[in-house]
Structure 1
Amino acid sequence: MTPVPRSTVVAYRDDGPLSRGMGALVAGQLPPLPPLIAGAFVTGILLMIGVAGSSGLAVFAPAVTLLLAGPGSSSPHDGRLDWMAPPILRLIEYTFIAACGFAHQVHPVLIFALLGAMAFHHYDLVYRLRQRVYPPPWLTTFGLGWDGRMIAVSVFVILGPVATGYALLALYLWLLFGWESVTSWLAAPRSGVEATDMGTQD
């Protein structure tokens, strides 16, 4: 049986191994929003000045800067505004990946294929948690998390060709998230899902 996460907000963050490891170091003693907002602000500035278009090590700057949010991953996210953490992470992650793709002339189909795989996963994650169908712990590891995906895209930019990297990552994530989603929903107790649906309608 898949363990129930401490907080659905924490699960919505979709932290990868690196971010979770940083969170383990502070053992939940750091609130999630202050470091995240600081990292998101600096990352936003970097994207606005065109760092995503760099072909050098500077392209890693947004991902590294946003890792300021990593230590907050172990927080229970039970504060009044802590629900804002996942949307902020999604906004920066999606913007970074789109900006890198367009800046390096990746075909829009490949960019949207990669973003689509991530959006599918995040939508599926939200809906399954509403139905109490919890994802397995290994999914965030193999799915790389927001931190791992941003770093992977940065590596593609450095090593090239960028389009091939986008295509391979999109294919990998679609296969992983699609297969895991289908198998999880098929294995979910039908009675529990139906009962939840009826309760929501009431």
Structure 2
Amino acid sequence: MTPIPRSRVVAYRDDGTLSRGMGRLVAGQLPPLPPAIAGAFVTGILLIVGVGGTDGLAVFAPAVALLLAGPGSSHPHDGRLDWLVPPILRLTEYGFVAAVCFGHDVHPVLIFVLLGAMAFHHYDVVYRLRQRVYPPLWLATAGLGWDGRMLAVSLGVIIGWPDLVCLLLAVYLWGLFGWESSTCWLAAPRSGTEMAAPGTRD
């Protein structure tokens, strides 16, 4: 059985294994919003300064974002403005992937397909949670999380194969998210009054 997130906002974050591991180190004691803002700001600066070239500073943005925003993953996100954290993480992830891929001449169609897989997953999670159907924890792990996807794209740039890595990542994510989403919604109760119990799928 999948553990139920402490709040919908935590599920919206879409943290990977690394981010959740860093969150466990601080045991929920770190407020999530300031680190997320700091991670987005530093990522933006690194993209502006070093998006061109495999030795550019932009390849270090995922590590910086993870170190800053990751520890906040274990917080219950019950602050008045903590709902802003997931959109900030989405902006950081999408902005990094788009900027780095365009900066390293990845084909625009491939970039669109990769970003589309991420957006499909996040859109799917939003509508699941509106129906109280929580995504299983293994999906965030298998989907690499925002942190893992950024690191994968960065690794592709470092090893000099951004096109191949983005292609493999896009195919993998579409296959994973498409299959899991289809099976989830097909298994969901048809009754308007009967809701799927949170955390019952694993």
> For each residue in 1:39-93, what CA deviation from the matched residue of structure 2 results, as whole angstroms up to 9, or x when unmatched?
21111111122x2323027343211111100000000000000000000000011
- TM superposition shift of 1:2: 4.2
2:59–2:158 contact (8 Å) kept in structure 1:
no
1:27–1:74 contact (8 Å) kept in structure 2:
yes
Give the TM-score, by structure 1 length.
0.91
* 2:91 aligned residue: 91
* 1:121 aligned residue: 121
Q: Whole-Å Cα distance in 1 between the matches of residues 63 and 45 of structure 2? A: 14
* 2:200 aligned residue: none
Q: Whole-Å Cα distance in 2 between the matches of residues 95 and 109 of structure 1? A: 16
1:63–1:150 contact (8 Å) kept in structure 2:
yes
Residue type of the partner of 1:195? T
Residue type of the partner of 2:64? T
> For each residue in 1:86-143, what CA deviation from the matched residue of structure 2 results, as whole angstroms up to 9, or x when unmatched?
0000001101100111111111100000000000000000000001111111001010
Give the 4+ runs in structure 1 shifted more than 4 A: none
RMSD: 1.5
The structure 1 residue matched to 2:193, chosen from 187, 192, 195, is 195
Give the TM-score, by structure 2 length.
0.91
Residue type of the partner of 1:33? L
Q: Whole-Å Cα distance in 2 between the matches of residues 60 and 105 of structure 1? A: 15
Question: Gapped runs of 5+ residues in structure 1?
Answer: 198-202
* 1:139 aligned residue: 139
* 2:64 aligned residue: 65
Identity of aligned residues (%): 71
- TM superposition shift of 1:14: 0.5
1:3–1:134 contact (8 Å) kept in structure 2:
no
2:19–2:70 contact (8 Å) kept in structure 1:
yes
Residue type of the partner of 2:46? L
